[in-house]
Structure 1
Amino acid sequence: MKASERLIARLREIGLDLPEGSRLVRVHPSRAMRNEGAWSWSAYGPGGRELLIGSQYPMAELLAAERLDTMQVVSGAVGSDTEVFPAKACQRCGRLASTACRICRVPFCATCFSDHHHEGYGTPASDS
Structure 2
Amino acid sequence: MAMMMSSRHCFKVKWKSLTLLMEHGIHADHSAATFSIENEDHTLANAVRFTLNQDPRISFTGYSIPHPSDARVNIRVQTTGDPARDVLKDACQNLMGMCQHVRDTFDKAVVDFKRSKVVDAMDVEH
Range of TM-score over shorter length: under 0.3
Structure of greater relative contact order (alpha carbons < 8 Å, 6+ residues apart): 2
Q: Please give the TM-score of this superposition, normalised by the length of structure 2.
A: 0.27
Larger Rg: 2
Q: Please give the TM-score of this superposition, normalised by the length of structure 1.
A: 0.27
More strand by share: 2
More helix by share: 2
